[in-house]
Amino acid sequence: MRFVAFDFETTGTVPGVDQIIEIGAVRFIDGQPESVFATLVDPLRPIPPGASKVNGIFDDMVKGKPTIDTLLDSLADFCGDDIMVAHNAPFDAQFLTADVKKHESKAPRGLVLDSLP
C-alpha cells in the first residue's frame, strides 16, 4: 500500500487569503517511509504574529525560500495518484485547491483521507 502523509503550516485559516508557509509530505510504501518532500515557503508578505506563535515559523525563516507557485507542480508530481492522508485534511486540502486554482498548476490526483475521527 502506498500513501502520502502531508501537512501544511499557514499564515492563517482562510484559504485563498492566507498562505501556505511550510509543506511537509512523506510517501509511505507498505508502512515504511520511502521519500520526503519538505520545504519552507516564502509567502512574499509578513507572517502575522499570531500565526508565528502557533507554528513557530517567522519571516526571517521563509525569506528567499521558494514561492508556492514554483512548488505546486513538484508537489503534484511527488504525490502523483497516491492516497493523501492528513490530520484535519479539509483544512490542508482547501489551501492546496485554492493555490492550484490561483496559479493554474497541476494538482495531486489521489484521494484525500482525514485522520480525524
Domain with 91 in it: 2-105
- Let me know if residue 114 belongs to a domain: no
Number of independent structural domains in the chain? 1
CATH code for position 62: 3.30.420.10
Tell how strand 2-10 and strand 32-40 pair up. Answer: unpaired
- Let me know if residue 116 belongs to a domain: no
Kindly report the pTM of this predicted structure: 0.96
Q: Which residue has the cell 512574499?
A: 44
Over residues 80-96, mean pLDDT? 98
Backbone angles phi, psi at 29, to 5 degrees: -125, 120
What pLDDT does 112 receive? 98
Tell how strand 20-29 and strand 32-40 pair up. Answer: antiparallel
What pLDDT does 113 receive? 98
pLDDT single digits (tens) 7-51: 999 999 999 999 999 999 999 999 999 999 999 999 999 999 999
Q: What DSSP letter does each residue of 13-75 carry, written as one string?
A: S-BTTB-EEEEEEEEEETTEEEEEEEEE---SSPPPHHHHHHH---HHHHTTSPPHHHHHHHH
pLDDT single digits (tens) 97-117: 999 999 999 999 999 999 998
- Let me know if residue 112 belongs to a domain: no
Q: Which amino acid is located at 112 in the chain? A: V
Q: Please, are residues 107 and 95 in contact by the beta-carbon 8 Å criterion?
A: no
